[in-house]
Amino acid sequence: MAQLQPLTKAPITHSQIVRYAGASGDFNPIHSVVPVAKEAGLPDVIAHGMLVMGIAGQALTTWFRHDQIKKFGVRFKKMTFPGETLTVKGFIKEERDDLLICEVVVMNEKEERKLAGTFHVSKEETHA
Amino acid sequence: MSTVQNKVGIETKPFTFSVEGGKIREFVKAIGDSNPLYTDIEVAREKGYRDLPVPPTFPTVIDMWGGADFETLIALLEVNPLKVLHGEQSYDYRKTICAGDVITAVMKVVDQKEKSGMKLFTLETTYQDERNETVLLATSVVIER
């Protein structure tokens, strides 16, 4: 099983989460308003799962050409709080005739898994 | 846990979103992805794209800014916004979406179940281009904990 070059990001900040809320249009206040996060029983706001998946997506298109990615699916495992440093790891699990079946995992510095998923990479480049 | 009726089969109105380069740039900046493919049209064209392609998780922008935003989903599923989590997300890419494309999408509830005291809703979204060709399918699982 071939491991791909891991991608480590700068620590997640409150500002980045707010910026992601604006960019993505996901204004669930649990991500941007601390008192609402506390009302929900959390110690702080949490990063959008989609911000963490976006970071995984960044790694995918670092490892392979953008238009080779055919499928990308993840399961969110654990919440991400400001201050955490995320690393994306990828593995080529299986090689078929025209496709690579790969796994991706995002973890923090304590190796707690934030998301785990799979993606398919076409060996052929196809443009729209 | 709130008692809601079965939501399977419910769908949003079709919503339309014009993909713009500025929104793609804003999105990758928020992620911290400095790949020039998403910001420099010369780089995108050199690599064979019509225009700036959208990053793999950009379809969430089409949903949230196009019509299926957080408030709409909360109302559609009748769930408590303080207890909602995103459980799973997947994309099946059929054609590359680029800046300049006008995408129309519909989100449909395809499954609902209860597990360990939580409610799980599976949503499927189909994205079509101006020629009514399906360019992308997305599936997500929304959890009310």
- Distance between CA A40 and CA A13 in Å, rounded? 20
Contacts of B33 in chain A (CB under 8 A): 54-55, 57-58, 61
What pLDDT score does A124 carry?
77
* Chains A, B: CB pairs < 8 Å: 137
Contacts of A40 in chain B (CB under 8 A): 82-83
Which residue ranges of chain A lie beneath pLDDT 70? 125-128
What pLDDT score does B3 carry?
52
Q: Chain B: give the shortest CA distance to residue A2, in Å.
A: 22
Q: Chain B: give the shortest CA distance to residue A20, in Å.
A: 5
Q: Chain B: give the shortest CA distance to residue A57, in Å.
A: 6
Q: Over the stretch B63-95, which tens digit does the pLDDT of each residue have?
A: 999 999 999 999 999 999 999 999 999 999 999
- Find residues 83-112 of chain A whose CB sits inside 8 Å of chain B: none
Would the CB atoms of A28 and B139 count as touching at under 8 Å?
no
Q: Decide if pLDDT at B1 tops 50.
A: no
Least Cα distance to B70 among B59, B62, B81 occurs for: B81
Q: Chain B: give the shortest CA distance to residue A128, in Å.
A: 5
- Cβ–Cβ under 8 Å, residues A71 and A120: yes
**Can you tell me the mean pLDDT for B127-143?**
97
Angle between the B59-66 and B21-31 helix axes, to the nearest 10 degrees?
A: 110
Residue with tokens 């929900």: A40
Would the CB atoms of A58 and B55 count as touching at under 8 Å?
yes
**Can you tell me the mean pLDDT for B94-107?**
97
- Distance between CA A81 and CA B43 in Å, rounded? 34
- Cβ–Cβ under 8 Å, residues B69 and B63: yes
3-state class of A86 per DSSP?
coil
Contacts of A30 in chain B (CB under 8 A): 81-82, 84
What pLDDT score does A1 carry?
75
Would the CB atoms of A28 and B81 count as touching at under 8 Å?
yes
3-state secondary structure A9-25: CCCCCHHHHHHHHHHHC
Q: Which of A52, A58, A125 best tests the B interface by mutation, with the highest count of B CBs <10 A?
A: A58
ipTM of predicted complex: 0.94
Contacts of B95 in chain A (CB under 8 A): 128
Separation of first and last alpha carbons in chain B: 8
